[in-house]
Structure 1
């Protein structure tokens, strides 16, 4: 460690440049990851907040939930076998507030369950983002497909679907609006994928999220960018230490000739990588968490401690691999060859 620190002090500009690049890449990675998590919540928090279980939809719907219709007899059978099962339907739409302003919402109705808001006929429970938009408890809201008015009963936190605030309504009101009798989905908390029902296809929570077109495309793009940046950081370490090693072949030859083990030289490289990466991560994590606090409320940004730790560990692992690959040349070159190469 002492040898590694002395070299970093002697070539501080070179290592400072590497540290700055690693800092910028890691900061960008944390920011994009926070954006991906935030968009994920904004797109499907209604589904993500449900406990682990199984979703069931009609096979003929071909994994498109709004085309699914579950036969009433099959639904009743599922309810008999699974006491915690809940049937639900989701439909994009809009409501008009008391000022006549139209607001997009995702109408959700469900059979009686603790997993969804309990509403009576003519009542509506909204995501809290609409409260921030000016709607209050007791307001009357209208929809052209509904013959009466909805009275706002209350608000719930973080209930979004397809980037729209959720609006919970009574089953009878939903059926009147959309002229349907069957429900789209059945959810069984803690359900087993091995349990099959005639004509239905099962999905885990994660699998069901991937059937939402906007969710899968959005998350795939952002996660690809995150992993691309992580790979770049590993290549950066490999190239940086490779160039340094090429310039120091003569020194390495002398050190190996006087009995310094190859493992000691590898430890020096690893120590330098660890110092640079740790300092860069501390700075990038601090700035990303500060941004998380000061980010505007409307911005979908969410960077949890768990995600931060996972990415930090990945960065350290990639840095270790990159630095190790760059040091393979030290192990292969004989002392005399290294000395001669350094003299050329």
Structure 2
């Protein structure tokens, strides 16, 4: 059975090469859109995705949006000190580079630098209250020419921040996150005399502790991290649009591959009839066709995976593209099943092949 499949592929090289190319391009397009979906997801929400947090206590009227939630500092002071709980502040700001007209948009995030909310610093040093207004920012700011030691001015609060370090994969709503300590965060509100934080973050699930927070601070609700991510402006719409494209691509792949396998099977009805006349069973012929499809699928999908991986390496860094090998394997499995399904639908022609008619045509 296997040798028959290989012999037929070698004999009809062009025919199988064309089908293989079609499978390759469909799979490559699925992987590319998947990479773009992952890239946009990371660019929009990586600061929350990578945050060591289980859930967020938000204002119940915030619609699960971290940027809309507000809790007064005086209210938060009623919460007992606990290493499993931390407050976080979030504010979209435009900072001006000192001695330059350049401005950068950032999501300022006020945290305790000694807590579980502080990400790993990949370059430079961390933020400390003793050093005055300092920032550790996502390294995407480097693309805008910002370096360690640069000073960034915020005009509303009249505060100049010094960039002391960089971290990675820390963005919010497609803007780099700039981490500041609580002292610097509270100084942002000096002019209004009203300091507020956006949420209380719990590191690990603790029902008793969460109930304690809910009873102490009213008008709030615990929101799972996944729902907070979905609440980021534009996140849900972006992901649904891209995954809808992926779904349509897979549906299109079903019809295209089924059509090609059906046409190819129809062209070989005479051959199937002759083989039946000399004793070949339907199971043998269908199995031979399935083996051909398996070989084509493995080669084509494997080549598409390699193409997507190379594309990530050569793609400009300004384009958000993330090659998630685990997710790619899932889509590969779906495409493989789709290919087998298409071949099975076309196998009805093999069963209908009439040996007598085939021998008559062969005369």
Q: TM-score range by the shorter chain?
A: 0.7 to 0.9
CA contact (8 A) 2:84 2:204 kept: no
Distance in structure 2 (CA, Å) of the matches to 1:341 and 1:52: 74
* SS of residue paired to 2:31: helix
The aligned counterpart of 1:97 is 97
Match of 2:253 among 214, 233, 250: 233
CA contact (8 A) 1:69 1:182 kept: yes
Distance in structure 2 (CA, Å) of the matches to 1:3 and 1:58: 67
Alpha-carbon distance change, 59 to 146 in structure 1, aligned in 2, over 3 angstroms: same
Structure 1 portions without partners, runs of 5+: none
Distance in structure 1 (CA, Å) of the matches to 2:169 and 2:355: 67
Does 2:221 align with 1:201? yes
Shift of 1:114: 2.7
Does 2:323 align with 1:285? no
The aligned counterpart of 1:83 is 83
Alpha-carbon distance change, 51 to 252 in structure 1, aligned in 2, over 3 angstroms: farther
The aligned counterpart of 1:220 is 240
The aligned counterpart of 2:338 is 318
Shift of 1:167: 0.8
Aligned residues: CA RMSD: 2.8
CA contact (8 A) 1:24 1:284 kept: yes
Alpha-carbon distance change, 71 to 142 in structure 1, aligned in 2, over 3 angstroms: closer
Shift of 1:299: 2.3
Alpha-carbon distance change, 269 to 73 in structure 1, aligned in 2, over 3 angstroms: farther
Match of 2:205 among 167, 179, 191: 191
Distance in structure 2 (CA, Å) of the matches to 1:252 and 1:190: 63
Shift of 1:106: 0.6
* SS of residue paired to 1:65: coil
1:228-264 per-position Cα deviation (integer Å, ceiling 9, x unaligned):
2222222222111112223333433443454423222
1:149-194 per-position Cα deviation (integer Å, ceiling 9, x unaligned):
2122211122111111111123343334354433212221232689
Distance in structure 2 (CA, Å) of the matches to 1:266 and 1:52: 52
The aligned counterpart of 1:51 is 52
Equivalences for residues 82-161 of structure 1 within 5 A: 83-98=83-98, 99-111=100-112, 112-116=114-118, 118-120=127-129, 121-161=132-172
CA contact (8 A) 1:249 1:338 kept: no
CA contact (8 A) 2:53 2:201 kept: no
The aligned counterpart of 2:123 is none
Distance in structure 1 (CA, Å) of the matches to 2:160 and 2:37: 37
Distance in structure 2 (CA, Å) of the matches to 1:192 and 1:239: 55
The aligned counterpart of 1:35 is 36
CA contact (8 A) 1:146 1:173 kept: no
The aligned counterpart of 2:230 is 210
Q: What TM-score do you get using the length of structure 2 for normalisation? A: 0.83
Alpha-carbon distance change, 51 to 341 in structure 1, aligned in 2, over 3 angstroms: farther
CA contact (8 A) 2:106 2:176 kept: yes
* SS of residue paired to 2:195: coil
Distance in structure 1 (CA, Å) of the matches to 2:47 and 2:198: 15
CA contact (8 A) 1:124 1:152 kept: yes
CA contact (8 A) 1:193 1:202 kept: no
Distance in structure 1 (CA, Å) of the matches to 2:75 and 2:156: 28
Does 2:10 align with 1:9? yes
Structure 2 portions without partners, runs of 5+: 120-126
CA contact (8 A) 1:269 1:323 kept: yes
Q: What TM-score do you get using the length of structure 1 for normalisation? A: 0.87
